């Protein structure tokens, strides 16, 4: 199963990714955890370029192509091989981030975003995507509470950018059946239980369809 987590920065994705990995491993499932951008030696080098605040002159065209280049390598080097070995692949972000961030946030035309995504992914698509939704105000509050953390180039972007990104995610959640929208302001344990319930339902449906 290929599981992805999405949401604006500081929505709590990384915590839920870790909890789900621990849960599945307790169920004696084979699990591999990846992050975007990154996950391979090539992709991690691209990540460093993308998130470095020194690269403030980066054009939006360069940004989307670098994200997609990192993803293309990750798909072919990690995701596809592990899925073929019957692993649960959990990704902290995937192509929906490009639709939300570069499409809605940066304003790149939808047709261009879709074509670039499709080229990078090939036939590899998530089975289920969890969108942890929080308001921009809550994100700013969490950002302030983590003042010791140095923000990267994307995280340092103004709040108005993230309003558009969130709007993109909400659009995707309404149009993509695989999306599961979860209130990211709920307690961590509550969110985890909701995620586990959705995974168990999908496993049951898959078993019935075999």
Compute and round to an integer the Cα radius of gyration of the chain: 17
Q: Report the mean per-residue pLDDT for the chain.
A: 96
Q: In what order do the strands lie in the sheet with 128-133?
A: 31-35, 88-92, 2-6, 128-133, 179-183
Segment 54-79, tens digit of pLDDT: 999 999 999 999 999 999 999 999 99
Q: Which domains does the chain have, with CATH numbers?
A: 2-209 (3.40.50.300)
* Closest by CA position to 165, among listed 53, 12, 7, 34: 7
Which DSSP category does 11 fall into?
A: S
Segment 82-137, tens digit of pLDDT: 999 999 999 999 999 999 999 999 999 999 999 999 999 999 999 999 999 999 99
In angstroms, rounded to a whole number, what is the distance separating the alpha carbons of residues 159 and 140? Answer: 8
pLDDT at 146: 79
């Amino acid at each position: 199963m290929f599981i992805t987590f999405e949401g604006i920065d500081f929505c709590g994705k990384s915590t839920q990714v870790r909890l789900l990995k621990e849960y599945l491993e307790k169920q004696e499932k084979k699990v591999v955890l990846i992050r975007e951008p990154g996950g391979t030696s090539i992709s991690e080098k691209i990540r460093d370029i993308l998130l470095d605040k020194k690269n403030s002159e980066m054009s939006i065209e360069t940004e989307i192509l670098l994200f997609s280049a990192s993803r293309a390598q990750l798909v072919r080097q990690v995701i596809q091989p592990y899925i073929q070995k019957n692993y649960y692949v959990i990704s902290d972000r995937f192509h929906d981030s490009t639709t939300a961030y570069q499409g809605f946030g940066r304003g790149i035309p939808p047709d261009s975003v879709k074509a670039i995504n499709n080229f990078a992914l090939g036939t590899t698509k998530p089975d289920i995507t969890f969108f942890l939704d929080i308001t921009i105000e809550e994100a700013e509050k969490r950002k302030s509470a983590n003042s010791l953390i140095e923000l990267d180039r994307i995280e340092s972007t103004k709040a108005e950018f993230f309003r558009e990104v969130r709007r993109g995610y909400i659009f995707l959640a309404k149009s993509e059946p695989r999306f599961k929208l979860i209130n990211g302001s709920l307690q961590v344990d509550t969110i985890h239980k909701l995620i586990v319930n959705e995974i168990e339902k999908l496993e049951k449906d898959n078993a019935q369809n075999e």
